[in-house]
């Protein structure tokens, strides 16, 4: 029998249940995060008008660069002020 | 029996020998002669009937006594009183032995001096096993027991611990031997590895280095390379997550290139040389196994690249009249460094006819201006790896690296009108607002220059980068320390 050493971090990310889908977006705040790729704003503008039409209020956010993870403060702001988030990649 | 008891030796004279040692053979009759007149115990490492089939000869083929008493050379002769060693000599010296045992005629007719041989307990293939069996090992990683019928390589593929090629099983003995390559404590944290931001301890780095096929002496380079990629400047998370085809490419400078027999010559960007291939592979395994950066997971590359498997270039410093790459990064000559540069795989520049530096420079500039896309300026860095035969054109004409870069700059200037969106029927390009200006192909300092390659072949290489600067990835250089 061979004994080997675990090469991983030995930390498996905790499994979490997804938040239940809202019945309706009416009256909810939806965050739209533009990751700063070209023409991402064009796509999100369209989404915003569709969401507003459904009765949602929309908050817009922009990541400083698509090449790096969103800053922790921005993630916190989105998490505390939105009921739902759409993250858009436009390539 | 306790560990300490396994190393205990009786009072009197104590010798440690092995048959496979000419000096031990030489002193064998003297040990027998001493046994007739005083208490002596002889521990034998390889043959329990050597130096004699007698009650004063003790089997130490398990090497417990040798290991516990730090025997490095055989023969070793010790004096023990009250359970404590009071003195020891090693090898054979007629003068030393006579004084040690108080016998003026011992060894008459033997040569005056013979050096001893290496003790089996310090044999590099055996020592790690002894350390495990008898030592106070501090390795903390979870032990994974493979079943009797489980194939080691298959078991590691099944667990998702490889890069698609087989890996070496990281047994305790192999990892312990790997840890001998550094003076750092196994529990030291080398870096926090993206994307999952988990700690890479020296021990975890060593485990992955074993799997990649590294030798222990490579470990300091692996550690420095991991430190380099796990900085905010290098941005390993972004390098991994991008849909572009990039990975960390490494450049090594300093005397360690020779010490580790790294390749700077033929196939410098290719295969066939263990340190060049296994060190960057170890770094990639660390990103995967510790950081959780799996292809198809956070690694979103559309087409991927061989630079995700591992590419390490040892600069040919000796063959170039120019400053080294690490000197350009502000390090002194003679300092061992490793640089991480985010890049796709190499593209060849073919120029077999230029005989003047001016012609070759223009040829190189034309290729560089097409790096990634001729319509892309300032956003992406590149590394130019100049081969010895191409370098000779500049060296013979007395060009310095500064002159090379100065003469190159105007050749890499782009009239923005030629690369605006829609020009020549191509939608890719700069927005119309940029019309009417001259722009540089690369940001200041964005072109990295390295010298490497075989002696023949009028070919150089371009390694095209990724989003450059603070918003993307910057080249990061770290000193390699023990």
Residue A80 lies in a domain: yes
Q: Do A7 and B285 touch (CB under 8 A)?
A: yes
Q: Do B144 and A11 touch (CB under 8 A)?
A: no
Please tell me the predicted confidence (pLDDT) of residue B101. Answer: 93
Q: Do A9 and B196 touch (CB under 8 A)?
A: yes
pLDDT category, A20, cuts 50, 70, 90?
confident
Number of structural domains found in chain A: 1
What's the gap in Å between the CA of B86 and the closest CA on chain A? 40
Alpha carbon distance B181, B65 (integer Å): 26
Mean pLDDT on A13-35: 85
The predicted-structure confidence for B408-423, as pLDDT tens digits, reads as follows 999 999 999 999 999 9
Please tell me the predicted confidence (pLDDT) of residue B276. Answer: 98
Please tell me the predicted confidence (pLDDT) of residue B308. Answer: 95
* B4 backbone dihedrals φ, ψ, rounded to 5°: -60, -40
The predicted-structure confidence for B163-202, as pLDDT tens digits, reads as follows 999 999 999 999 999 999 999 999 999 999 999 999 999 9
Residues in chain A: 91
pLDDT at residue B4 is higher than 90: no
The predicted-structure confidence for B354-407, as pLDDT tens digits, reads as follows 999 999 999 999 999 999 999 999 989 999 999 999 999 999 999 999 999 999
Residues 130-169 of chain B whose Cβ lies under 8 A from any Cβ of chain A? 139, 141-148, 150, 152, 156, 161, 169
What's the gap in Å between the CA of B31 and the closest CA on chain A? 42
Is B231 an 8 Å CB contact of chain A? no
For B180-188, the CB contacts below 8 A with 24+ separation are: B180/B128, B180/B216, B181/B206, B181/B215, B181/B216, B181/B217, B181/B218, B181/B219, B181/B220, B182/B206, B182/B219, B182/B220, B182/B223, B182/B482, B183/B482, B184/B223, B185/B138, B186/B138, B186/B139, B186/B140, B187/B138, B187/B140
Q: Do B207 and A7 touch (CB under 8 A)?
A: yes
Contacts B196 to A, Cβ<8 Å? 9, 11, 13
Map residue B297 onto helix, strand or coil: coil
Helix (H) or strand (E) holding B89: strand B84-90
Please tell me the predicted confidence (pLDDT) of residue B218. Answer: 98
pLDDT at residue B254 is higher than 80: yes
Residue A20 lies in a domain: no
Residue B30: which of B20, B42, B21, B18 has the closest Cα? B42
Mean pLDDT on B267-274: 96
Q: What is the pTM of this model?
A: 0.83
With a threshold of 0.90, tell me whether the complex ipTM lies above it.
no
Name the closest residue on chain B to residue A70, using Cα atoms.
B238
pLDDT at residue B45 is higher than 60: yes
Is B338 an 8 Å CB contact of chain A? no
Residue A77 lies in a domain: yes
Is B242 an 8 Å CB contact of chain A? yes
Contacts B147 to A, Cβ<8 Å? 1
Please tell me the predicted confidence (pLDDT) of residue B5. Answer: 66
Contacts A14 to B, Cβ<8 Å? none
pLDDT category, B349, cuts 50, 70, 90?
very high
Residues 271-330 of chain B whose Cβ lies under 8 A from any Cβ of chain A? 285, 289-292
Name the closest residue on chain B to residue A13, using Cα atoms.
B196
Residue A13 lies in a domain: no
Domains of chain B: 3-134 (3.40.30.10), 155-479 (no CATH)
Is B467 an 8 Å CB contact of chain A? yes
Residue A19 lies in a domain: no
The predicted-structure confidence for A51-91, as pLDDT tens digits, reads as follows 999 999 999 999 998 888 889 999 999 999 999 887 666 55
What's the gap in Å between the CA of A80 and the closest CA on chain B? 23
What's the gap in Å between the CA of B300 and the closest CA on chain A? 12
Contacts A8 to B, Cβ<8 Å? 161, 289-290
Residue A38 lies in a domain: yes
Q: At what angle do helices B202-212 and B172-179 cross, to 10 degrees?
A: 110
Mean pLDDT on B195-223: 97
Q: Do B144 and A68 touch (CB under 8 A)?
A: no
Q: Do A67 and B471 touch (CB under 8 A)?
A: yes
Tokens for B406, please give them. 């100065």
Contacts A68 to B, Cβ<8 Å? 235, 237-238, 471-472
pLDDT, mean over chain B: 95
The predicted-structure confidence for B84-114, as pLDDT tens digits, reads as follows 999 999 999 999 999 999 999 999 999 999 9
Residue A33: CATH number of its domain:
3.40.50
- Of the residues B290, B302, B379, the best mutation for testing chain A's interface (the one with the most A CB atoms within 10 Å of its CB) is B290
Domain range spanning residue A47?
Answer: 29-88
Residue A50 lies in a domain: yes
Residues 363-392 of chain B whose Cβ lies under 8 A from any Cβ of chain A? none
Is B90 an 8 Å CB contact of chain A? no
**Closest CB from A7, A64, A68 relative to B170:** A7
Residue A47 lies in a domain: yes
């Amino acid at each position: 029998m061979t004994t080997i050493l675990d090469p991983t971090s030995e930390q498996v990310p905790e499994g979490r249940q997804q938040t239940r889908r809202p019945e309706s977006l009416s009256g909810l705040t939806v965050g739209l995060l533009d990751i700063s790729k070209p023409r991402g704003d064009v796509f999100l503008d369209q989404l915003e008008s569709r969401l507003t039409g459904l009765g949602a209020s929309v908050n817009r956010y922009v990541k400083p660069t698509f090449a790096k993870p969103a800053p922790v403060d921005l993630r916190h702001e989105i998490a505390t002020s939105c009921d739902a988030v759409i993250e858009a990649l436009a390539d | 029996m306790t560990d300490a008891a396994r190393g205990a030796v009786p009072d009197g004279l104590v010798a440690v020998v092995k048959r496979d040692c000419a000096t031990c053979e030489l002193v064998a009759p003297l040990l027998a002669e001493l046994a007739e007149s005083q208490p002596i115990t002889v521990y034998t490492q390889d043959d329990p009937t050597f130096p004699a089939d007698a009650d004063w000869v003790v089997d130490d083929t398990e090497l417990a006594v040798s290991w516990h008493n730090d025997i490095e050379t055989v023969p070793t002769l010790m004096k023990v009183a009250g359970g404590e060693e009071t003195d020891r000599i090693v090898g054979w010296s007629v003068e030393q032995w006579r004084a040690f045992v108080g016998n003026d005629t011992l060894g008459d007719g033997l040569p005056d001096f013979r050096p001893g041989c290496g003790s089996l307990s310090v044999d590099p293939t055996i020592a790690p096993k002894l350390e495990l069996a008898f030592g106070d090992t501090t390795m903390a990683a979870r032990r994974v027991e493979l079943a009797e019928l489980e194939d080691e390589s298959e078991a590691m593929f099944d667990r998702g611990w490889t890069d698609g090629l087989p890996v070496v099983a990281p047994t305790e003995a192999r990892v312990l031997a790997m840890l001998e390559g550094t003076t750092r404590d196994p529990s030291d944290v080398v870096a926090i590895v993206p994307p999952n931001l988990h700690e890479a301890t020296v021990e975890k780095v060593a485990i992955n280095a074993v799997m990649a096929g590294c030798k222990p002496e490579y470990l300091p380079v692996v550690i420095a390379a991991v430190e380099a990629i796990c900085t905010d400047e290098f941005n390993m998370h972004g390098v991994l997550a991008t849909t572009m085809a990039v990975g960390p490419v490494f450049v090594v400078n300093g005397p360690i290139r020779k010490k580790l027999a790294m390749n700077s010559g033929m196939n410098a960007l290719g295969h066939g040389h263990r340190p060049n291939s296994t060190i960057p592979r170890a770094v990639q395994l660390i990103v995967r196994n510790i950081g959780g950066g799996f292809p198809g997971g956070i690694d979103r590359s559309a087409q991927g690249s061989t630079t995700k498997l591992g590419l390490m270039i040892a600069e040919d410093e000796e063959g170039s009249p120019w400053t080294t790459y690490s000197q350009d990064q502000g390090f002194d000559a003679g300092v061992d460094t490793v640089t991480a540069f985010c890049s796709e795989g190499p593209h060849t520049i073919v120029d077999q006819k230029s005989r003047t530096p001016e012609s070759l420079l223009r040829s190189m500039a034309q290729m560089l201006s097409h790096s990634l896309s001729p319509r892309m300026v300032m956003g992406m860095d590149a590394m130019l790896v100049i081969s010895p035969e191409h370098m000779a054109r500049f060296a013979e004409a007395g060009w310095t690296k500064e002159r090379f870069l100065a003469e190159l700059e105007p050749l890499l200037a782009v009239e923005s009108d030629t690369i605006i969106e829609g020009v020549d029927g191509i939608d890719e390009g700069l927005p119309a607002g940029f019309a009417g200006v001259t722009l540089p192909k690369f940001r200041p300092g964005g072109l990295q220059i390295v010298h490497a390659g075989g002696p023949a072949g009028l070919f150089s290489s371009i390694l095209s980068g990724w989003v450059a600067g603070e918003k993307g990835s910057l080249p990061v250089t770290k000193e390699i320390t023990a």
